[in-house]
Amino acid sequence: MTVALIISTYNWPRALSLCLDSVMKQSVMPTEILIADDGSDSSTREVVKHFESISPVPLRHIWHEDRGFRAAAIRNKAIAASRSDYVLLVDGDMILQRDFIRDHLSFAKKGHYVSGSRGMISAARTQELLDSPSYGHALSAWSKGISCRGNAMRNPLAARLYRSLAPEHNPRSCNMGIWRDDLIRVNGFDEGFEGWGFEDTELGLRLHNSGVRQRRIKFQGIAFHLYHGKAARDNCKINQQRYLESVRERRTRCEKGLDSHLSTPSEATRQQENTPAK
């Protein structure tokens, strides 16, 4: 099984450097790494170039013009550029525990997608890490400046128990694992979502409506979120209404999504026709 790690970023190169440093220290490396860049300036490109030169696996920079918060569109562009069976989605302000990818691969199961969470790093501790990036790999649930510790404790036995008991919840695209074929089937992220909010929840809804069930990963797949101010919520109500439309219409595909980025236009059509509903 091959796996693409897709890292979303926008104009925070120091955080992206911390994230990529944690990827380089993984106990199991992904097959490929794609940076889904929502229009950053050249300083981000310099970070990517450095890690391209040291990465043991292919690392590519997927960029589009900065026309506001278009995370859905740039993630689709990166998914389309990937060539792996399985896609892991994280944000570029996350530090991954060294077994993050190994843990996600152990949870991957046909007919399911995986949804995780993250521990939170305080503002003061975030600044320390940005000033001394070599210490990011040593984070644990008990490190100073960590909150939401329950999301940062790694216990594989507890993870298996939790997986069998946990109800589904709204997924977070900062920590998700999805089969690429399933993403093609539902047409990826809905690019009608611009600005912060609901694009990942709505993707989870369409996956569910298509018969793809959720597996909750907790006590494994550990990641830590660097502190930053809240993104502007200007489009939140519009995005919420778009999500509620998908709920009412029981959508399984979005109109404007992944298929516009696929290298062969017929790929999405073939996938939709040839893959039976689960």
Rounded to 10°, the helix 13-24/123-131 angle is 70
Angstrom distances, CA of residue 89 to CA of 75, 79, 138, 233: 9, 9, 22, 22
- Residue 183 near residue 258 (C-beta atoms within 8 A): yes
pTM: 0.92
Span 131-185, pLDDT tens digits: 886 666 679 999 999 999 999 999 999 998 898 888 888 898 899 999 999 999 9
DSSP the chain: --EEEEEEESS-HHHHHHHHHHHHT-SS--SEEEEEESS--HHHHHHHHHHHHH-SS-EEEEE---SS--HHHHHHHHHHH--SSEEEEEETTEEE-TTHHHHHHHH--TTEEEE---EEE-HHHHHHHHHSGGGGGG--TTSTTEE-GGGT---HHHHHHHHHHPPP----TTEEEEEHHHHHHHTSS-TT--SSSSHHHHHHHHHHHTTPEEEE--SSS-EEEPP-PPPP-TTHHHHHHHHHHHHHHT-SS-SSSGGGT-SSTHHHHHHHHHSPP-
Neighbours of 158 (CB within 10 A): 13
Pairwise CA distance, residues 6 & 180, whole Å = 12
- Residue 29 near residue 101 (C-beta atoms within 8 A): yes
Q: Which residues of the chain have pLDDT under 70?
A: 133-137, 264-278
Pairwise CA distance, residues 226 & 80, whole Å = 28
Q: Give the chain's domains with CATH numbers.
A: 3-274 (3.90.550.10)
